Chains A and B, each alone.
Chain A
């Protein structure tokens, strides 16, 4: 029988710290997979999350979902999912494999943002500044086009920086789905 989706509600301020511990390293092979099963370039993704007045947000939860180095989502060795919580400076960190380009898409990492004051979670997507992003249908869906650059992470050494502003000047584009 058809059902109506459950109403979403805020994560609140007290998401147990234990739920995020150890979940921000996606390079750990899935259980049972041989050592070295996760192939690809190891990268770090980091950034700072702020609210409308520029204040950094502590204990905000970010989750990511991404393809493996070949752009595939069906790799039993690569979990592809991670979670991080921000520190008191609003900074989060993931260690992962640089994703390949899935069919018809530029390489990207999906983000979910959960926090108190967000009545439901926010969805956004990170792209890589040194990749070919021009034909990505999700990036090209962002309007007006000037805002697309806000989804492209800056590269320095092996680290990509993707800052997120929930509201206000330079607000990160979020997807409604």
Chain B
């Protein structure tokens, strides 16, 4: 059995953030309720990684090769494209490992990643930014972690962009990441940031995390450039989903 320890208020955002106006309209005013955890909250979809990949992973940039015709390894994705279809921007590889609170890898978990293009534009129709779309860039991939809890994504580095109607809030370059985790209560949605970005210091979302060490764990590490692919910068990152092995009952 798995257990889910309570959230640490220093390492998790608390709801309403002064600089982020939507939070005052959307975060509940009432205190969150406490409840016992039963099998319902401590279970999750049971499918094997390959069955999961077949059922939910076939989106562009996910388990398909660049031609979109045949499935490749579900733990590896490619949003950057090749040759004449190569997206514009700095080529990067993300290596993200998913572990639980014991540090044990979580193989077979679904990982969804999305980010804007090298001009700061998302593929989403609700993005009203006047920045140009890139016809060779589709910014969404759905992967399934391999036996070591690892996913790898070849993509381009997203740009910073201004958040409309906020009087000068710029989002630093970031990648949105959604992880299912082992059970329902280990569901995690987060964002990954890049090292050395001056905007990291001012971002209302990153800085909603009060503990500086927790913030720095949200920033990927640039891997040594000597050992990686010749044409891409490699960024490494660890994601910890909630849950640890329950202590045996006495």
Contact = CB atoms under 8 A, between A and B. Distances in A.
A156 interface: no
A2 interface: yes
Given A3-B102, A19-B59, A74-B46, A171 B40 contact: no
B55 A141 contact: no
B82 interface: no
Interface residues of B, number: 82
Top 8 closest A-B pairs, CB basis? A117-B22, A176-B32, A119-B13, A16-B140, A14-B124, A117-B26, A73-B43, A14-B122
Contacts of B46: 73-74, 76
B33 A174 contact: yes
B189 A5 contact: no
Interface string B1-42: 000101110011111010010111111111111111111110
B49 interface: no
A73 B11 contact: no
* From A3, A57, A105, A137, residue with most partner B Cβ within 10 Å: A3
A27 B189 CA distance: 26
B190 interface: yes
A41 B155 CA distance: 44
A134 interface: no
A11 B37 contact: no
Interface stretch (B63-71, B86-94, B226-234, B239-247): B239-247
Contacts of B85: none
Contact of A52 (B24, B34, B37): B24
A8 interface: yes
Interface in B183-241: 184-185, 187-191, 205-206, 208-209, 214-215, 217-218, 238-241
B60 interface: yes
A5 B242 contact: yes
B103 interface: yes
A51 B24 CA distance: 9
